[in-house]
Amino acid sequence: MNIYAAPSARAVRRTRRVRAFKSSARLFARSKMGVAGLAILAVFVALALLADVLVPEARLSVTNAPGAPLQPPSSRFWLGTDELGRSVLDLVIQGSQISLLVGFLATTISMLIGALIGISAGYFGGWIGAVLMRITDWFLVIPFLPLAIVLAAILGRSLFVIALVIGIVTWPGTARVVRAQVLTLKERPYVERARALGASNRQIIARHILPNVFPLIFANTILVVAVAILTETTLSFLGLGDPFSISWGSILESAFAEGAISLGAWWYLVPPGLCIVLVVLGFTMCGYAFDEILDPRLRER
């Protein structure tokens, strides 16, 4: 038995990755902002996961609501009731599920498009790259909410459509960043060496390019989730959301339609908005912390 045998390439790679992950996690833990953001997000994700347990479906019944309509907060309804007599607290808890779900789904779509276009544009260059970048620029210039409105109005109202629309309008930023990174990566010596050894484009992209742009894509993801949740809220508020599900945006839509503002029904308007602010803030704070890990120049001296 030879205990001095060199560890396999795979094992080396794994220890290296684990070490990199640990050092990133340590840096993240040192950032007060990042930890606070992560804590906020953990609370809301837990809330969303437990929503069905915390809020039995019967309490959200439209025809047989538990309370009187538009009551201010009381010991029974901590955040008052809506125009149908449902508890606003229940609605907000239930809404966290859809808001986060659409946010994550939209971000996944956005990242897939962005990474695909960014990597192809950067790696292949030439006329393909030029055409892809033209398209990206076009999407960057077009005001994104009007585009989202138009797409949502044409495609119809469902959760998936909303997520798809948000994905379609938010990918260009990622594509640009990824392309820039790929452009520098593909000139690195190890890529050249892999090519000299006869590696195919697919192998080079999967082995060398993708692992190196992944941290960048991940950091971008966090910021895009924030944008996606805000956009979902806005689209739902404008009446383009799924009419059969409750999200923070759709709560605000019905509050607005029922005249909660002029009735002074603050308990109906404040909680969903506050949740949005907290969640988006949580993502932004995590995003800043990750930026500092990826770009040491940003770290505080």
Can you give the binding site for other proteins, defined by CB under 8 A? 141-147, 149-151, 153-156, 226, 230, 233-234, 237-240, 249, 252, 256, 261-262, 264, 266, 269-270, 273, 276-278, 280-281, 284-285
Minimal distance, residue 269 CB to other proteins, in Å? 5
The nearer residue to other proteins, 106 or 285, going by C-beta atoms, is 285
Minimal distance, residue 285 CB to other proteins, in Å? 8
The nearer residue to other proteins, 213 or 240, going by C-beta atoms, is 240
The nearer residue to other proteins, 45 or 155, going by C-beta atoms, is 155
Helices marked H in the chain: 9-30, 32-54, 88-124, 126-141, 144-155, 159-185, 189-196, 201-204, 210-237, 248-257, 266-294
Minimal distance, residue 61 CB to other proteins, in Å? 26
The nearer residue to other proteins, 191 or 240, going by C-beta atoms, is 240
Minimal distance, residue 12 CB to other proteins, in Å? 40
**Contact yes or no for 89/271 (Cβ under 8 A):** yes
Minimal distance, residue 128 CB to other proteins, in Å? 20
**Can you tell me the distance from the alpha carbon of 281 to that of 203, in angstroms, rounded to the nearest whole number?**
39
Q: Comparing C-alpha atoms, which of 73, 71, 93 is closest to residue 82?
A: 71
**Can you tell me the distance from the alpha carbon of 40 to that of 57, in angstroms, rounded to the nearest whole number?**
26
Minimal distance, residue 233 CB to other proteins, in Å? 5
How many C-beta atoms surround the C-beta of residue 93 within 10 A? 21
How many C-beta atoms surround the C-beta of residue 275 within 10 A? 21
**Hey, is 6 helix, strand or coil?**
coil
> What does the DSSP 8-state code read for residue 205?
I
The nearer residue to other proteins, 9 or 141, going by C-beta atoms, is 141
Q: Token match 């607290």: residue?
A: 89
The nearer residue to other proteins, 65 or 92, going by C-beta atoms, is 92
